[in-house]
Amino acid sequence: MVTRIQSLLPLLLALLVVACSSAPDKRVLQYLNTQGFGSRYSGNAEQENYVTINDSFSYTDEYEAELKDQVTVDIDGTVILPQVGAVAVAGMTRTEIEALLTQKFSPYYERIDIKVVRIQTRAKYYYVYGEVGAEGERIFPGNLTVFQAVMAARPDKVRANLGRVRLIRADPLDPLILTFNMRDLLKYGDSTFNFLVQESDIIVVPPTFLAQVGSFISALVTPFTTVFQQVFTGLIQLNNLDRNLNNNQQFGVF
């Protein structure tokens, strides 16, 4: 029995080490649970637009002509209103802002009906990466399909694999990754999977198999070509130096 326990001891220690190494840090969990996952202010702007930091909106009132202004959401999520001061609005939809402003201004006016005329977004984006000419962060305009987003990013005609375009909708509990064949849309007109892009979506245009092979070969060859280029440049410089020395000796400079 003792021998059997001794033989199992290394396995138990290994399992313990793995468990300890994979267990999340308590401080990390604390920050995740208190600070949230991802953006602090988020929503579906196409269902009902909302404001976040750096967004601006205009409001007006049907009864009080002086109650109109355009304000920008500050870094702390607030806007400054006359008579009221700082009011937190980040993350609120158009309807919620109207209700809040009506409540805040009510003590100063007998009859008001605040309306948000326009929300101007400056901080809502989606992202495109991979074999495209315009890679990175792009302003989210709304009513945008995957095909439109990929075409706007100018996919590389040789390297882009339009048959395996991925849309990543990140989420801590229920992440979504969809793969689209843009060639079906271009060849057959099949728009079944031409999904609408949402704010913060990530679109990845991967390379073709041949492009991957080319990149692999380039990664192998580049160090050698760099060394050869440096050696060749050094030889040219030595040759030029030697030629200058010979010319100087010929004309009696030294």
CATH number 3.10.560.10 is the correct assignment for the domain at 125-207: yes
Provide the pairing of β-strand 202-205 with 125-130: parallel
The sheet with strand 56-61 has its strands ordered as: 69-72, 56-61, 114-120
Residues in the chain: 254
Which residue ranges make up each domain of the chain?
Answer: 56-120, 125-207
- Give this prediction's pTM: 0.67
Burial 170-184 (b: 16+ CB within 10 A, else e): eeeeeeeeeebbbeb
Fold exhibited by the domain 56-120: wza like fold (3.30.1950)
- Using CB atoms within 10 Å of the CB of residue 211, give its burial: 0 to 12 exposed, 13 to 18 middle, 19+ buried: middle
Mean pLDDT of the chain: 82
Which value, to the nearest 10 degrees, does the dihedral of the CA atoms of residues 90, 93, 97, 100 take? -90
Residues whose CB falls within 8 Å of the CB of residue 124, separated by 6 or more in sequence, listed in order: 45, 52, 55, 139, 140, 199
Q: What is the Cα–Cα distance from 45 to 54, expressed in whole angstroms?
A: 15
pLDDT band at 2 (very low <50, low <70, confident <90, very high): very low
Please check the confidence at residue 157 and state whether its pLDDT lies above 70: yes
Q: Specify whether the CB–CB gap between 59 and 116 falls below 8 A.
A: yes
Domains 56-120 and 125-207 share a fold: no
Write down the pLDDT at residue 127.
96
